[in-house]
Structure 1
Amino acid sequence: MTTILVTGATGRVGWHLVKILSLYDKEFYLSHRMMDSSNPSLRQKIKAFKDQGLINLIELDYGNPESITHHKLEGIDKIFLVSPYFNVLETTKKFMVEAQKTKSVQHIVKLSAMGIDLSPTTYGGLIHKQAEEIIKESGFHYTFLRPNFFMQNFIKQQYHYSTNGKTFCLPLNNARASFVDIRDVSEVAATILHEKSNKHYNMAYDVTGGERFNCSEIAEILQTILGQSIMYTNVSEQRARTNLLTTGLQIECVNYLIDFYRIIREGRMRRISNVVQTILGRKPISFEAFARDHLELLKNRVELKSIDNNN
């Protein structure tokens, strides 16, 4: 039986990936940060894993690369590798060095990012590219998943109250992009990890949605589904950075998002790939379907920000 390690299991892609893998006849392990974390959301997710009977937990702390050891990786056949926004190259190198000491690890499936082959690339794209090169040079079989901007990021947006209704602000002008649902990315990853053949070895896949939208069109979809006025306002990059920092995001994450906004704005994230159709045998989840599936979350987010802005 193939044994899989899912790193970043408490993250958005990893969370959905675990749900799918739990349906397969596979043995898999979940990595997580230290159990005494002060993050209540992290503790809640770990408890949810245990409640589902997913008790194969391995402590791996990206903030402490020394926690990554070959003893913890021994017996693992495939690794789903999620890079953090910090220590990316250091942790990737440590994973590869320790994996090479095992007799079991064969295949690395890395969550990367679309656009890393663009010239000029972004700083975040360059880091992902270098991490991919580290994996290639390690000698393991690899599959790189390079998703576009996640649809779920629109749930995280700040929605401000205005005289015309609710407004979200991004520095994207009218640029279109092939936004992708995280669930598609996770299902592609699960299918590749479940695959017994080598047909996905040493491949890089751009994972995109099936349509291109700009933010004004997204606002129209949200307005129809939520049944209330939703507007999009283009803002400067500096304004967007300030807005992100007020949410408490790590500076590395903020810089990564600002870089991604820039290449979307430049029209470089319009490409539509056939990866979801080819690997999953169906069309990518549409933005409308995403919005309907997350209706309550979107409603709560919009109303939360409206209340905040009225206080």
Structure 2
Amino acid sequence: MIVVTGATGNVGRHVVTEVAAAGHPVRAVTRTATGAPPAPGARLVQANPAVPETMEEALDGATALFLNYSAVRDATPQLLALAKKQGVRRVVLLSSAAVERAPANPIAQLHRALEEAVEESGLDWTFLRPDMFAVNTIRFWGGQIRDHGVVRAAYGDAALAPIDERDVAAVAATALTDPSARHVGQRYPLTGPEALTQRRMVELIGAALGRPLRFEEITRDRAVAEMAGLGVPEPVAEGLLTMHEGFTREPMPVAPPTHLITGKPAHTFAQWARLHVSDFTADSTAA
């Protein structure tokens, strides 16, 4: 039995689908277990991973756990202790590439603390360290594209390698279900298959929508303010923009392809954009 926290999130829902499709029993943990399970063969379990005592039923008889900070928050050490007590042997943690690239960054410090908690738990572990998620473009650019057809951001020439959330989930599912120990103790850097400037990403979204979009360069200070308006704390915004500034001089390194782990070809950003057309169109926000 495999337990997935953050099971309705961008990555978690695809982890549930991948694990179930591989024929493994999976419990999808959500705070509000309503509606149909996210995949045939999966079971919805209502619990709050940030309150570990609510997770006893979900972890009963489980052998592996997918751990997502957005669901667990500061209760990670307590949840890991409970998981070990309940018989879980393996944990796959969704971490961040910032741990390696920018250890002083607040994002890196948060995820490194999570990794240390997992390392100290006594469980077998695998760390997934994705870099930029393609889905982040919906958060930062979606409203601008829907309303104006223009993306206003800093460092348009920053070359990033956005990864499709489905590819992160495929690596997670492989590490969770592989009966061998080949993924134990691995720290997997994960990116998309190619580095693209932010300007080029906007062009590819426009191609998927069937209409031209425009990129407008703005100052760093304005970009921080724009990100704050989307709920991004200023230190996090500054850290992200510092990384982007660096990628104007040298592109984000492309990690070894995910197919070496999963056996499945990675998705390009163009493919991702075509799948998410509705997220960039006006009626995607309709009630």
Q: Which TM-score band applies after superposition, normalised by the shorter structure?
A: 0.7 to 0.9
Aligned to 2:165: 182
Provide the rounded CA distance (Å) in 2 between the counterparts of 1:60 and 1:161. 34
Residues 10, 269 of structure 1: CA spacing in aligned structure 2 closer, same or farther, 3 A cutoff? farther
Matched position secondary structure for 1:187: helix
Equivalent residues in 2 for 1:198-217 (5 A)?
198-217=181-200
Q: Percent identity?
A: 24
Q: Does 1:98 align with 2:82?
A: yes
Contact persistence 1:29–1:58 (CA under 8 A): no
Contact persistence 1:5–1:76 (CA under 8 A): yes
Provide the rounded CA distance (Å) in 2 between the counterparts of 1:237 and 1:60. 38
Provide the rounded CA distance (Å) in 2 between the counterparts of 1:68 and 1:100. 15
CA drift at 1:139: 1.2
Unaligned runs of 5+ in 1: 36-42, 306-311
CA drift at 1:257: 5.3
Provide the rounded CA distance (Å) in 1 between the counterparts of 2:145 and 2:23. 46
CA drift at 1:219: 2.0
**TM-score, normalization: structure 2?**
0.86
Unaligned runs of 5+ in 2: none
CA drift at 1:237: 4.0
Residues 72, 287 of structure 1: CA spacing in aligned structure 2 closer, same or farther, 3 A cutoff? closer
Matched position secondary structure for 1:189: helix
Equivalent residues in 2 for 1:9-28 (5 A)?
9-28=7-26
Provide the rounded CA distance (Å) in 2 between the counterparts of 1:19 and 1:69. 21
Provide the rounded CA distance (Å) in 1 between the counterparts of 2:268 and 2:241. 21
Provide the rounded CA distance (Å) in 2 between the counterparts of 1:276 and 1:131. 23
Residues 27, 257 of structure 1: CA spacing in aligned structure 2 closer, same or farther, 3 A cutoff? farther
Q: Does 1:263 align with 2:256?
A: no
Equivalent residues in 2 for 1:1-311 (5 A)?
3-33=1-31, 35=32, 46-49=34-37, 52=40, 54-62=42-50, 65-68=51-54, 70=56, 72-84=58-70, 88=73, 90-102=74-86, 104-156=87-139, 157=141, 158-159=143-144, 166-247=149-230, 249=231, 256=236, 258-267=238-247, 270-300=252-282
CA drift at 1:272: 0.9
Residues 73-82 or 282-291, more deviating: 282-291
Residues 269, 71 of structure 1: CA spacing in aligned structure 2 closer, same or farther, 3 A cutoff? farther
Contact persistence 2:67–2:93 (CA under 8 A): yes
Residues 222, 258 of structure 1: CA spacing in aligned structure 2 closer, same or farther, 3 A cutoff? same
Matched position secondary structure for 2:181: coil
Provide the rounded CA distance (Å) in 1 between the counterparts of 2:251 and 2:97. 8
Q: Deviations over 1:168-203 (max 9, x none)?
A: 122334111111111111111112212111100011
Matched position secondary structure for 1:199: coil
CA drift at 1:120: 4.6
Provide the rounded CA distance (Å) in 1 between the counterparts of 2:37 and 2:241. 34
Aligned to 1:309: none
CA drift at 1:148: 1.2
CA drift at 1:84: 1.8
Matched position secondary structure for 2:216: strand
Matched position secondary structure for 1:49: coil
Residues 19, 269 of structure 1: CA spacing in aligned structure 2 closer, same or farther, 3 A cutoff? farther
Matched position secondary structure for 2:196: coil
Contact persistence 2:45–2:58 (CA under 8 A): no
RMSD: 2.8
Amino acid aligned to 2:214: M
CA drift at 1:255: 5.3
CA drift at 1:22: 2.2
Contact persistence 1:148–1:269 (CA under 8 A): no
